[in-house]
């Protein structure tokens, strides 16, 4: 039997320990405790009630494709047309479909790290090599992408996977940085897969983070992947989408057909209703902003801790001086202090020495968790 073997998830290892202690403050997964838009639930239930359960267009329901195109056109500097939209069963499926479209065995794919591990594992499953580019960790707890080092890695690469705003660090590329990255990819003929699932979760007063959709031509080798999971707190719905180069959508739809054969139409009805609820988006961003501030306040002045306010996403990536085994510390925090964080090593070698905390939680939960976490870290 020839089965692919991947490193077991270290986040799941912490979660299993947390499940065994019911009073644990659970901050290790990348999801909120806030429910999604009520209108999405009502629309999905109505679609089920009217029997909207048959096969639908594998590209996505037409009304949803138009709504996504309209939303993105309003949000970003360049228009997005419906014929570039592909609906997928989750944001990760969008990334996987993008990789399936362009990456073959023996190719080299550049990814910056620390990073959510799934894109790297999906690359390896295709027989391609992952070429990691660590973000620079700055003394104040912030992160930076060295464009000169990126330029040195791109010649001969097939693709670059870019995640901004970033999970787990919160690093968010500026528009100038995105323009430079795009020009480098153009110069070297490298495909750019942009994971922008946290694009609406930024804390500078903007409605969205800088995006490749503000800069790229429709003909560029750029595929932008997104999801309803984060902005709309709809993680369990497993709904995502892609923005593709002009003329590529129907070819990519064939890959979707053999990958998951499209998305349930009643779920797409819920997604369409979610897109109409901008009030929810603003309220959820404010919810995350409060959690962000409580996390920062909870560790302010703590000995041996490096933490800067993240520009985007909903994670605090906490550097711990002298930490060599973040998984062991994360497990210890569960067993001894009742708080579950993701170990930094789950996000690659560049993440060792850190813990990731999801602050998209109710204020009272964050406050309890930060009290426990601070005690646990100061007891080291």
CATH no. for 10-36+279-378: 3.90.1150.10
The first and second tokens of residue 309, run together, are 């306010």
Radius of gyration of the chain (CA): 20
Rounded Cα–Cα distance for residues 161 and 194 (Å): 6
**Would you say the CATH fold of 38-277 matches that of 10-36+279-378?**
no
Is the separation of the CB atoms in 379 and 354 below 8 Å? no
Instruction: Please tell me the predicted confidence (pLDDT) of residue 2.
Output: 60
Instruction: Please tell me the predicted confidence (pLDDT) of residue 8.
Output: 79
Global pTM? 0.96
- Please provide the size of the chain in residues: 380
Burial annotation 342-373 (CB, 10 A radius, 16+ → b, else e): bbbbbbbebbbbbbbbbbbbeeebbbbbbebb
CATH fold group of domain 38-277: 3.40.640
Query: What integer is the mean pLDDT of 96-125?
Result: 97
* Tens of pLDDT, residues 22-72: 999 999 999 999 999 999 999 999 999 999 999 999 999 999 999 999 999
For residue 141, the 8-state DSSP code is S
Rounded Cα–Cα distance for residues 315 and 311 (Å): 10
Instruction: Please tell me the predicted confidence (pLDDT) of residue 1.
Output: 44
Task: Tell me the DSSP string of 255-292.
Answer: HHHHHT----HHHHHHHHHHHT-HHHHHHHHHHHHHHH
Confidence check: pLDDT of 15 > 60? yes
Confidence check: pLDDT of 260 > 90? yes
Is the separation of the CB atoms in 310 and 379 below 8 Å? no
Is the separation of the CB atoms in 132 and 145 below 8 Å? no
Instruction: Please tell me the predicted confidence (pLDDT) of residue 3.
Output: 65
**For the chain, percent of residues with pLDDT exceeding 70:** 99
Instruction: Please tell me the predicted confidence (pLDDT) of residue 341.
Output: 98
Rounded Cα–Cα distance for residues 274 and 257 (Å): 25
Mean pLDDT of the chain: 97
* Tens of pLDDT, residues 292-312: 999 999 999 999 999 999 999
Query: What integer is the mean pLDDT of 258-274?
Result: 97
Instruction: Please tell me the predicted confidence (pLDDT) of residue 344.
Output: 98
Confidence check: pLDDT of 5 > 90? no
Half-sphere exposure of 222 (CA within 13 A, CB side): 25
Domain segments of the chain as ranges: 10-36+279-378, 38-277
CB 5: neighbour CB atoms within 10 A?
A: 5
Is the separation of the CB atoms in 272 and 186 below 8 Å? no
* Tens of pLDDT, residues 325-361: 999 999 999 999 999 999 999 999 999 999 999 999 9
């Amino acid at each position: 039997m020839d089965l692919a073997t991947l490193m077991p998830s270290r986040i799941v290892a912490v979660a299993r320990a947390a499940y065994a202690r019911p009073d644990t403050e659970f901050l290790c997964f990348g999801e909120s405790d806030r429910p999604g838009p009520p209108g999405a639930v009502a629309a999905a239930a109505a679609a089920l009630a009217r029997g909207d359960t048959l096969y639908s267009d594998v590209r996505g329901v037409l009304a949803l494709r138009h709504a996504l195109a309209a939303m993105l056109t309003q949000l970003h500097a360049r228009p997005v047309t419906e014929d570039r939209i592909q609906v997928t069963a989750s944001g990760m499926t969008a990334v996987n479909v993008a990789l399936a479209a362009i990456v073959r065995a023996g190719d080299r794919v550049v990814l910056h790290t620390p990073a959510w591990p799934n894109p790297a594992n999906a690359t390896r499953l295709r027989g391609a090599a992952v070429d990691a580019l660590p973000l620079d960790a700055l003394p104040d707890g912030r992160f930076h992408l060295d464009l000169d080092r990126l330029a040195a890695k791109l010649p001969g690469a097939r693709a670059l996977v870019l995640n901004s705003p970033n999970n787990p660090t919160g690093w968010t590329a500026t528009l100038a940085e995105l323009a430079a990255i795009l020009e480098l990819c153009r110069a070297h003929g490298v495909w750019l897969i942009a994971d922008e699932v946290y694009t609406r979760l930024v804390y500078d007063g903007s409605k969205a983070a800088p995006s490749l959709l503000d800069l790229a031509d429709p003909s560029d080798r750029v595929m932008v992947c997104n999801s309803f999971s984060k902005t709309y707190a709809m993680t369990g719905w497993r709904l995502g989408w892609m923005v593709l180069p002009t003329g590529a959508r129907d070819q990519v739809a064939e890959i979707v057909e053999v990958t998951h054969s499209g998305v349930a139409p009643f779920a797409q009805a819920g997604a369409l209703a979610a897109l109409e609820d901008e009030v929810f988006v603003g309220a959820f961003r404010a919810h995350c902003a409060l959690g962000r501030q409580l996390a920062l306040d909870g560790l302010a002045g703590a000995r041996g801790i490096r933490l800067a306010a993240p520009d985007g996403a909903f994670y605090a990536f906490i550097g711990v001086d002298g930490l060599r085994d973040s998984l062991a510390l994360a497990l210890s925090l569960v067993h001894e202090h009742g708080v579950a964080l993701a170990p930094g090593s789950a996000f690659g070698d560049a993440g060792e020495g850190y813990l990731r905390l999801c602050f998209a939680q109710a204020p009272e939960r964050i406050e309890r968790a930060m009290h426990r976490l601070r005690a646990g870290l100061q007891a080291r």
